[in-house]
Structure 1
Amino acid sequence: MAYLFSGDGGDSDSAVVPLVCLQPFPLLLFASVPVCFILSAALVMMMKVPAFCYWFGCLFCAGMSAEMKAMAMTILYVCCISFLSFSLCIISLLWVFCSVFSAFFLCFFWVLLIVRDCLVFVWGAKIQSETCSLDSP
């Protein structure tokens, strides 16, 4: 597992954060892309089978003429392609949103580390100057 270390040389007080924790949403979306493709491909394959309407108990298909069945299959096929396009568009938008959110979180985390290091440096310098002034006669 990859880790993100603060820049203070890996001391015991350094912040260690797994990189996986910084980007949970893109990982989940990445896992959902194959599922979307598989479902869409299964729908497309079912559209190609002539007995599609009967598999799902579509009773009104039984009395249709060949032209009406072809039109129904075309409409279902177009709906399936539209579903695929819409799903991929939504996944892409979610991917961009989550990547931007993760980048913002990462930048915010780094700013907090810099502020922490600055405070430690200032606080340490203040304590050292007070200690030196107490030690001198």
Structure 2
Amino acid sequence: RNGDGVLEYAQRIISTPGQKDGLYWASLDDEEESPLGPMFGEDEPGTDYHGYYFRILQGQGPAAPGGAYSYMLGGRMVGGFALIAWPVHWDDTGVMTFTINHRGVVYENDLGPETEERARKIMVFNPDETWTEVEDADD
């Protein structure tokens, strides 16, 4: 949405204040609504969403399909994308931590009571043997 013609993925969920560099930005009535605007409703963006925190990951590790590589090229996220979502309060708002990349397969892992600390240290999509593929509900 920066008008330069390069197709790239968002590097942040919540835009920098005054910018449209993420998936959500505050919009006035006469402005373009952000892609995530309708999803937040009355919730305050930048906090948890339905009891989970979300963060965009900018690369993948050796356990990911396709191996380790950065999604970034020249400061732009063009090589793919990934997300991680973890419960705000483990064993209260949720138990499982989830991750997904541009291939669309969701993985889950119970990171235990240290979920907050462990999830914040995860910088790349890397579903190793401790992660389980979430089965499609349609199967």
Task: Flag whether TM exceeds 0.5 (same fold).
Answer: no
Question: TM-score scaled to structure 1, two decimals?
Answer: 0.22
Give the number of the structure with larger relative contact order, counting CA–CA contacts within 8 Å between residues 6 or more apart: 1
| Larger helix proportion of the pair | 1
| Larger strand proportion of the pair | 2
